[in-house]
Chains A and B, each alone.
Chain A
């Protein structure tokens, strides 16, 4: 068909800089995410624990409040590495819940409705697409994990003084690194599963199963073989070890007991050792690498269906 209309022209407006093109995706996705009342409610609930922690920090430094409550909060709950470790753990599990709700539709909808070509025919690479989708999860989870964690740390530092700040500055790194590792692991797993199964509900279910089934299997392996090596297949146990390592609270010796249950050996002392920290980091890295490989295979503008 001949085209007589000659009004069509190429786009002459300003282009988004190459480096920030991936940020276009979170701009729209975040707007969609907060349309869900359920998600918004859960997101708000995730700030309850940081608020409670902030109140505890404040109580530590408020002489009137300590006198009024007639309890020694300093002895009851010291603000140290364990306090921040528990904070990171608690918020980390909240982050997992949010990921189960928010992450699966991000990629699965595009793949299920064959919408990927609409992204990729623009000057927008596959890596930028994955980065853009990941950044939605990273932004949301950061807001409930390391951001309040670091703010809490600086609140304590402000109330306690510069000496405490310099002595414990390493904890900022631990809060940030621990949280960001968990966020990246969750984001990659969620996106890879969504890209693999393409259905939102199924992807959410698979994500849940991927955390609970290996944990149960790991627990049974630990019980049957009298070991702690089963923790290597449990994402929860892996990240707990990594967090403990970052906060200097990791101990390889998990349990020690005396038993006569090994025939012909009399009473023997059994020491159960957690997997070494390097093994935990290696497992997390392997899982992330596998997810990236899966995403590279699945996120394509077209696919050949046999």
Chain B
């Protein structure tokens, strides 16, 4: 008996020493453990069905387009396909699917736990709440980036390869196609990072996050009408600035200089870090109230 107690005490002491000496390694392990749990929830629960549907929409659309190509000039001319893809990517994937996918997933990171009445399990575990925020955010990021990058790349392949296989091979493996694809993937990743941060904070601060989400959607959608200064207070402006093929935003659009990549990318990353820090501060004082949800 005494041996067991001694062994127990020894192990506690060792754990404490580990924690006090290098909290970062403990936090990293805890973050990874939370991520593992959350990834299973994000990919395997019924809530993921909507994400799969959203990510699959452009693939289904472009598969139909590959089988029944329209007779218009844009689809017969290989050179025009980059513009067609830019329209599909900007109008459908980025503005709508990534936006709603991120809204769905990141707002539910904490609201979903409150609705399921399971947040207290996390709060009762010996984990710093900031670690919980980071773990959940990273898990959401991995999920959205995986799904929407597959969607981005898959729809690009479906647009190019079925009609022009040889030109497409040349374009992607010996021309500018690969770099364009990488830029689109980068924009998708940054969109998930930016929108993820926005909706994480919305889900934490608002009991009913739908109205803020609607306002954000309206703000992002009307971005082309905003004066240049206000354009900078949106995620879509920075993402559009990075687009390899610029698309006209219509006759009523207010023109503004695109923000260079060396400003856009760090701005989004700094914004995200600030938002996560804010979420960390907020969650430290958070008290659970399941009533009313």
Contact = CB atoms under 8 A, between A and B. Distances in A.
B96 A208 contact: no
Interface in A115-142: none
Contact of A226 (B61, B72, B87, B108): B72
B44 interface: no
A205 B70 contact: no
B91 A223 contact: yes
Contacts of B57: 213, 217
Interface stretch (A195-203, A235-243, A279-287, A288-296): A195-203
B47 A202 contact: yes
B88 A220 contact: yes
A217 B92 contact: yes
B211 A262 contact: no
Given A205-B103, A209-B100, A216-B91, A101 B61 contact: no
B3 interface: no
A216 B217 CA distance: 13
B210 A199 contact: no
Contacts of B61: 217, 220-221, 224
Contact of B211 (A101, A221, A259, A263): A101
Contacts of B91: 216, 219-220, 223
A94 B293 CA distance: 24
Contacts of B71: 262-263, 265
Nearest to B207: A201
* Interface size, B (range): 35 or more
A208 B211 contact: no
Given A226-B70, A262-B72, A201 B111 contact: yes
Interface string B73-98: 11010000000100110011001110
A208 B92 contact: no
B54 interface: yes
A223 B86 CA distance: 13
Nearest to A108: B115
A202 B100 CA distance: 12
A109 to B, nearest CB: 9
B96 A213 contact: yes
Given A226-B70, A226-B72, A212 B111 contact: no
Contact of A213 (B100, B208, B210): B100
A216 B107 contact: no
A209 B108 CA distance: 15
A201 B209 contact: yes
Q: Which 9 A-B pairs have the closest CB atoms?
A: A261-B73, A216-B96, A204-B210, A199-B115, A220-B92, A261-B72, A209-B100, A262-B71, A263-B76
Interface of A: 38, 97, 100-101, 112, 199-202, 204-206, 208-209, 212-213, 216-217, 219-221, 223-226, 259-263, 265
29 contacts: A38-B208, A38-B211, A199-B112, A199-B293, A200-B115, A201-B115, A201-B293, A204-B208, A205-B103, A205-B104, A205-B107, A208-B100, A208-B217, A209-B100, A212-B100, A213-B57, A217-B57, A219-B91, A220-B87, A220-B91, A220-B92, A221-B61, A224-B65, A225-B65, A226-B70, A226-B72, A261-B73, A261-B74, A263-B73
